[in-house]
Structure 1
Amino acid sequence: MVDFTVVVPTYNGAQRLPQLLGALRSQVNTESIHWEILVVDNNSSDSTKQLIESYQAIWSGWPMLRYTFESQQGAAYARQRGMQDAVSEWVSFVDDDVIPSSDWVSTAYSFRDSQPQLGAYGGQIHPQFESDPPEDFKRIQSFLAIRERGDQPHLYDPENLVLPPSAAWVVCRQAWLDSVPTKPNLSGRVKGSMVQGDDYEPLIYMHLAGWKIWYNPDMHVSHQIPKGRLEPSYLVNLSRGCGLCVYSLRQIMAENLFQQLLLAAKITAGGLKRALMLLLDHQQKVFTDVVLQCQMVFFLSSAASPFYSVKALLKRDSAILP
């Protein structure tokens, strides 16, 4: 019987996976845990499959190492595949560019019974930069899945989209299967799109079903951030993707069409107001400072997110029609 599963969704991760697998293989205080690593190959075109097969040929004991394939591109589909193929009650997701601390598995596993109606939880995600980030980077660091929320456990706030990123979370499998639709609305970053929110979507569905989302400060991972992800063009596009998903996520919690329309108006007005306030506060610097540019793009994209959501829905429906 498997007690705990670490799902690793990966796309062309052959160069990144060895460091992660080494860190997972070196976990401490796991002697009493029957756990496994499940690598979900999300339609990679590199040697990911061959790499895992080479590891499996010499792998023995706990944790077990398994491989599965998901042809539908997008991290949301890879997570769905991992959840379907896992058999343990508790399933964690760890991105292939994340390195967990040596006690991450034992600490994550021990938290599972600490709170009533616990549906999911995430810990601290610390950046490991390849190059220096821009000045005042902390103002936008959450866009890169960095989470450092102090040393006390606390509830997240799904109603305001304050949630842990899937770079390193743990989920109650039954909570997911009972409340999360099998077909995601937000698929995650794919070629030609940086729209985010695919990791928040299942957490919102769990929240609506009565499950609680917690922060566990004792879980630590390092997020490897290459210099390319600190380039202004990447950061601006990432900020745009974070903004464009806002309405799609918030409307999940709307009960009817009237609430959806009211929500759309509030999000558009709120985004425009925040953009105007940023411009008034910083004036010309908004156009020259990369962090301010990212904030401005996020606010404007958030304001546009209701229109983007409708456009995406119409495009999806037209693709389904004969």
Structure 2
Amino acid sequence: MTFSTHISVIICTHNPRPNYLSRVLQALDSQTLSKESWELLLIDNASEKILSKEIDISWHPNSRHIREEQLGLTPARLKGIKESVAEVLVFVDDDNILDTDYLEAALKISKDYPFIGAWGGKIRPEFEEVPPDWTKPYWPLLALRNFDKDQWSNLIHQNNTTPCGAGLCVRKIVAEKYVDLVSQDSRRANLDRRGNLLTSCGDTDLAFTACDIGLGTGQFISLGLTHLIPANRVQEEYLLKLVQGIAYSGTILAALWGKYPNQACRSQKIFQSYTRLRMPSRNRHFYDASEEGKNLALKEIAKW
């Protein structure tokens, strides 16, 4: 490509909701950063309908439809990384409505903070239906972020500075290192969403890679987006599966980065059992889902 590209926007999508993806693209069309300064890659991850025939992105002069037949968010991300041409990559989910100055702010951060390799911002919810109050403790699991000051670190496992996949910005050198890590270790390829599986943490793995090459991670108040959340994602059945998937993936991820889980001693197990019995019924269900995810991961780790 001959144009001057500073940012590659990568949308990975599998069977997207047309009304959601339309809003995502409208928000990108309204960005204050000149379209000549960024490219748009729409990664069709094995959707039932060929998205290049369904979705018009010709409004962007530097846009491409790309098909990835291997199902999974990680293969789609890897495809986007390999096809991108810019020094800064911005991953936008198919339900992320970027603030109009998001790309401009992301580019400014890349210049002002050369020691940061992966960064993100504040993520607000827009619920399709008003969720019940009991779901609020689980909203952070839906990729929602709120903070009142910029924060960064060059240490792995710093949750307060680690961005999530929605609106994730990474330098190309970080992304290329991540591609190498995944190619050398197939366990990393299974960390994130595949069809209806609610495994996760591939975005965190990608962000941690920044620290692995001597850079840092950060979150900045100048970056903001709206996360569209359909009604089914605040139902108990979905949230239970999500809790289990995150507990499983998080345990695997921690082990991959050298933080192996400790086995609970007998007294700890007794205390945990006592605490569980005193929980309200719904809380106990979520506790059990989390424990099931962790135990599945521990069994897998034991085989390494």
Provide the TM-score with structure 2 as the length reference.
0.86
Number of aligned residue pairs: 293
Output aligned runs, 1:134-145, within 5 Å: 134-145=132-143
Distance 2:274 2:198 in 1: 25
Q: What SS is found at the alignment partner of 2:253?
A: helix
1:13-54 Cα distance to aligned partner (Å, 9 max, x none): 2613211111100112x14961111101111112522123x4
Instruction: Between 274-283 and 76-85, report the one with greater CA deviation.
Output: 274-283
> CA RMSD of the aligned region, Å?
2.8
**Would you say the 8 A contact 1:269–1:303 is kept in 2?**
no
Distance 2:231 2:79 in 1: 31
Deviation at 1:298, TM superposition (A): 2.1
Distance 2:35 2:60 in 1: 16
Q: Which runs of 5+ in 2 are unaligned?
A: none
Instruction: Between 193-202 and 79-88, report the one with greater CA deviation.
Output: 193-202
1:223-244 Cα distance to aligned partner (Å, 9 max, x none): 0111111110000000000001
**Would you say the 8 A contact 1:10–1:42 is kept in 2?**
yes
Deviation at 1:279, TM superposition (A): 6.0
In structure 1, the partner of 2:282 is 288
Q: Which runs of 5+ in 1 are unaligned?
A: 255-259, 314-322
Output aligned runs, 1:153-172, within 5 Å: 153-155=151-153, 158-160=156-158, 163-172=162-171
Distance 1:150 1:115 in 2: 19
Distance 1:140 1:278 in 2: 22
Distance 1:297 1:122 in 2: 29
Instruction: Between 203-212 and 177-186, report the one with greater CA deviation.
Output: 177-186
1:97-145 Cα distance to aligned partner (Å, 9 max, x none): 1111111111111111222422110101111111222325342222111
In structure 2, the partner of 1:106 is 104
- Amino acid of the structure 2 residue aligned with 1:203: A
Residues 217 and 33 of structure 1: is their aligned pair in 2 closer, same or farther, counting only changes over 3 Å? farther
In structure 1, the partner of 2:84 is 86
Deviation at 1:146, TM superposition (A): 0.7
Output aligned runs, 1:1-322, within 5 Å: 1-13=4-16, 15=18, 16-28=20-32, 30-31=33-34, 34-52=37-55, 54-56=56-58, 59=59, 61=61, 64-155=62-153, 158-160=156-158, 163-180=162-179, 181-183=181-183, 184-191=188-195, 193-254=197-258, 263-264=260-261, 266=262, 268-269=263-264, 280=275, 283-285=278-280, 287-289=281-283, 293-310=285-302
Residues 187 and 67 of structure 1: is their aligned pair in 2 closer, same or farther, counting only changes over 3 Å? farther
Residues 302 and 160 of structure 1: is their aligned pair in 2 closer, same or farther, counting only changes over 3 Å? farther
Residues 220 and 73 of structure 1: is their aligned pair in 2 closer, same or farther, counting only changes over 3 Å? same
Residues 276 and 156 of structure 1: is their aligned pair in 2 closer, same or farther, counting only changes over 3 Å? farther
Distance 2:14 2:196 in 1: 15
**Would you say the 8 A contact 1:90–1:170 is kept in 2?**
yes
**Would you say the 8 A contact 1:13–1:48 is kept in 2?**
no
**Would you say the 8 A contact 2:248–2:297 is kept in 1?**
yes
Residues 191 and 179 of structure 1: is their aligned pair in 2 closer, same or farther, counting only changes over 3 Å? closer
Distance 1:55 1:4 in 2: 17
Residues 6 and 60 of structure 1: is their aligned pair in 2 closer, same or farther, counting only changes over 3 Å? closer
Deviation at 1:199, TM superposition (A): 1.4
In structure 2, the partner of 1:257 is none
Residues 46 and 210 of structure 1: is their aligned pair in 2 closer, same or farther, counting only changes over 3 Å? same
Residues 247 and 51 of structure 1: is their aligned pair in 2 closer, same or farther, counting only changes over 3 Å? same
Q: What SS is found at the alignment partner of 1:141?
A: helix
- Amino acid of the structure 2 residue aligned with 1:288: R
Provide the TM-score with structure 1 as the length reference.
0.81
Deviation at 1:156, TM superposition (A): 7.5
- Amino acid of the structure 2 residue aligned with 1:124: K
- Amino acid of the structure 1 residue aligned with 2:294: S
Deviation at 1:167, TM superposition (A): 1.4
